[in-house]
Structure 1
Amino acid sequence: MQRKIIETGDGSKTLFIPEMDEQYHSVNGAITESEYVYLDKGYRHNQSLEPVVLEIGFGTGLNALLTALEAEKSQRKTTYISLEKYPLKAEEVKQLNYGSLISEEAAQLFEQLHTRLWNSKTTVTPFLDLLKIEADLKTFSFDNLPLVDIIYYDAFGPDKQPEMWEEQIFKSIFGISNQSATLVTYSAKGEIRRRMERSGFTSERLPGPPGKRQMLRVSKL
C-alpha cells in the first residue's frame, strides 16, 4: 500500500493513500481532530477510574500518544489495546511531527509507542500499558480481549472500506464492553448509527471537529 506524508491544517502531518483517496486524519488538522473526537469526547468523557481503551486502527499512533500524555497528566492508569493490519514503516514514523509540535517528552513517548513489539503487552509509562495487535479486523476474534471501557473507532471511512463498519463488528465490540462503556468515531452516517444501535448501543450525535458537521458517540447503558 503506497502512502504519502501530507501536512494538515494545524501543521501536524498525516498519511494519504492515493489508491483509496483517503487520509489517516482530517486535512483540517490531525492533532486537532484526534484531541477533539477521541480524547475530549471519549477518554475524558468516560468516568472509568482505570480504563481499558480499545482502538480500531493504530495508524500513525497519534491517538495512543495523546492518550498516554493525558493518562500521565491525570494519573489515570490506562490499558491501551490497538488493532492494525498495516503497521507503519520506521521511515514513515520518522516523518510524522506530532512529538515535536507538542513537547520533547511527547517526541520520546511517540518513538516508544512505535518501537514496542507488536502482539506483546508492555508498560510504556507508569500510567499506560500498551498492547498493539497486528491483525485483520474482519477475521479478528474479540473473545480474547478483556472487557473494555472506551473504544476509539478510527477505521477508514465507511465509503472507502465498508467491510470495516459491518454490524457484526459492533455486536462483537458490544459483547466485550463494560457497562457504561463509550465508543466514539468521526463518522456520523445514519446507517452506521443505526447499526450500532441494533448492536445494543445508545447513540448521540455531537458537533464534529473542524471541517466536519457531526461525529458520533455511543454508550452501553
Structure 2
Amino acid sequence: MNRIIEKTEDGSATLYVPELNEHYHSVKGARTESQHIFIDMGLKASTAGFPHVLEIGFGTGLNALLTLEAAEEERRHVHYTTIELYPLAWEEVDALQYSNHPLFEALHQAPWEADVEITPHFTLRKVQTDVGTIGGDRLLSINRSPFDVVYFDAFAPEKQPELWKEEVFRSIYAAMSAEGILTTYCAKGVVRRMLQAIGFRVERLPGPPGGKREILRGRKE
C-alpha cells in the first residue's frame, strides 16, 4: 500500500493510506492521541507491578516508544508484546521524525519472534501474524503469562472489520489477567456492547485533547 506522511495538529506526523482512506493516528495529534489513550488511560491505570502489555497493531512503533519512555520514567518493568502482520520498514518510520530517542530504532530493528531486552525496564517481543486467526490459548503461548494491559489499535472497524470480530476480542479476553485493562480509540456503540457481552466492564472516557469526544476502556471481570 502507498503511504503518505502528513502533519497532525500537535506537530507530530502520521501516515495516510489512500487505498483505505485511513490514517495511522489521529490528525488532531498523533503523539497526543497515543499518550492519552494507551499510556495514560491504559498502562498508568494498571496496578500490575510488572505489567505484560499486548498491542494489536505495531504500526509506526509510537505506542511502544511511549510505553518505553513511561517504563524508564517510572522505573517500572514492562514486557511488551506487539502483533503486526505488515511491518513498516525503518526508513519509512524514521521519516516521521517522531523522536531522537536512541532506542526508537532499536524497537524497529529488534528481531521478530524473540524476547529482546531493550532496556532493563522494557522487554519487547514482536510477533508477525494475523491476530484474527489467533485463539486465546495461542495468545497465552506467545507470552507465557496473562496480559495486564491491551492496546487495541487496529485500523477502524469499517476499514479492517475482520479484526473487530467478537471472536478476536474473546481470544484477547481469555488471554488477560484478572482485572486486566483494554483500551481503544473506538467508541462505537456496537463495539462497546460487544465488549460488555464478552464480559468486560466498559467505561466511556473523555478522548484526547482536541480529538475524539470519547474512547473506551474495558476491565476484565
TM-score between the two structures when normalised by the length of structure 2: 0.95
How many equivalent pairs are there? 215
> Which 4+ residue blocks in structure 1 deviate beyond 6 angstroms?
none
Q: Deviations over 1:141-197 (max 9, x none)?
A: 442233100000000001211111111111111101101100000000011011111
What is the alpha-carbon distance in structure 2 between the residues aligned to residue 5 and residue 91 of structure 1?
12
Q: Give the corresponding residue for 2:32.
A: 32
Q: Which residue of 2 aligns with 1:135?
A: 129
The SS at the match of 2:102 is helix
User: Considering only aligned residues, what root-mean-square deviation do their CA atoms show, in Å?
Assistant: 1.0
Q: Is contact 2:90-2:105 (8 Å) kept?
A: no
Residue 176 in structure 1 maps to residue 175 in structure 2: yes
1:35-91 deviation digits (Å, cap 9, x = unpaired): 000000001011100000000000000000000010011111110000001100122
Aligned-partner residue type, residue 121 of structure 1? D
Aligned equivalents of 2:54 and 2:197: distance in 1?
Answer: 20
> Does 2:76 correspond to 1:76?
yes
Q: How does 1:51-70 map to 2 (within 5 A)?
A: 51-70=51-70
Q: Could you tell me whether the CA contact under 8 Å between 2:59 and 2:88 is conserved in 1?
A: yes
Give identity over the alignment, percent: 47
Structure 2 unmatched ranges of 5 or more: none
- Once the 2 structures are TM-superposed, how far is the Cα of residue 140 of structure 1 from its aligned partner? 2.5
Q: Shift of residue 6 of structure 1?
A: 1.2
Aligned to 1:11: 11
The TM-score with structure 1 as length reference comes to: 0.95
**Contact persistence 2:136–2:173 (CA under 8 A):** no
The code of the aligned residue for 2:105 comes to E
Give the AA of the match of 1:199. I
**Structure 1 position 199, deviation (Å):** 1.3
- Give 3-state SS (helix, strand or coil) of 2:114's partner: coil
1:149 corresponds to 2:124: no
Amino acid corresponding to residue 181 of structure 1 in structure 2? G
